[in-house]
Amino acid sequence: MNNLIKVGMAELKVAKSPQIIRTSGLGSCVGIILYNEKAKVSGLAHIMLPDSSCARAGVLNRAKYADTAINDLIQLLGKEGVSSCLLKAKIAGGAQMFKFSSKNESMRIGPRNVEAVKEILCRLNIPVLFEDVGGNMGRTIEFNPATSILEIRTVSKGLVQV
């Protein structure tokens, strides 16, 4: 039971085999998994926004933004003995849950999150081995660091393993 690690919105955590790590109900948010199959270690971040530079005053929750969350995941995995050049990534989410015409830029937040995540990972030379992004459906994802298998659950397609 306690082998399941749940990651909430704007949170990030690390899981080691035999643990499994999950985040539920990704809408426009993006779930970023960084892992190493040999060390059987993985980190998962559930980010809401593309860029911490748009943060207003106050204490910064680093897990909320693509840039700071990826940075912190790499640090945490580094403490587990995995250097960033050995990391691989799988990402999911970034949907547009509602379709309608609006000038409001926040309506396009899903695609902007995905673009930001991919650009940052590319800059850090972390290969994205799998992505299930965009569309208009919510996703729940679960990653098993022992097998590097990602399970994606959606309302319309049910369960998919990759």
Partner 1 sequence: MRDLSKVRSQHLDILKEAGNIGAGHAAAALSQMLNKTIEMKVPGVKVIPFNEIGEYTGGDETIVAAVFLRIEGEAPGNMFFILPVKEANRLAQRLTGDLSIDFMGDSLNEMGISALNEAGNILAGSYLSALADFTHLNMQPTPPAIAVDMITAILSFGLIEMSEAGDHAIVINTEINEKGTGPAVSFKGHFFLLPDPPSLDKILNAFGVHQNE
In the complex, which residues of this chain contact partner 1 (CB under 8 A)? 8-11, 24-29, 48-49, 54-58, 61, 64, 95, 97-100, 102, 104, 106-107, 109, 136-140, 153, 155
Is 29 tagged catalytic?
Answer: yes
Question: Alpha carbon of 41 to those of 46, 82, 144, 145: distances in Å?
Answer: 17, 8, 9, 5
Of 29, 54, 85, 122, the catalytic one is 29
CB of 152 to partner 1, least distance (A): 12
CB of 44 to partner 1, least distance (A): 13
Nearer to partner 1, 6 or 16 (CB): 6
Question: Alpha carbon of 115 to those of 17, 87, 88, 119, 156: distances in Å?
Answer: 30, 19, 17, 6, 24
Nearer to partner 1, 85 or 155 (CB): 155
Nearer to partner 1, 9 or 124 (CB): 9
Plot region of 17 (φ>0 → left; ψ -120 to 50 → alpha; else → beta): beta
Residue reference for tokens 């309506």:
107
Active site (catalytic) residues: 29
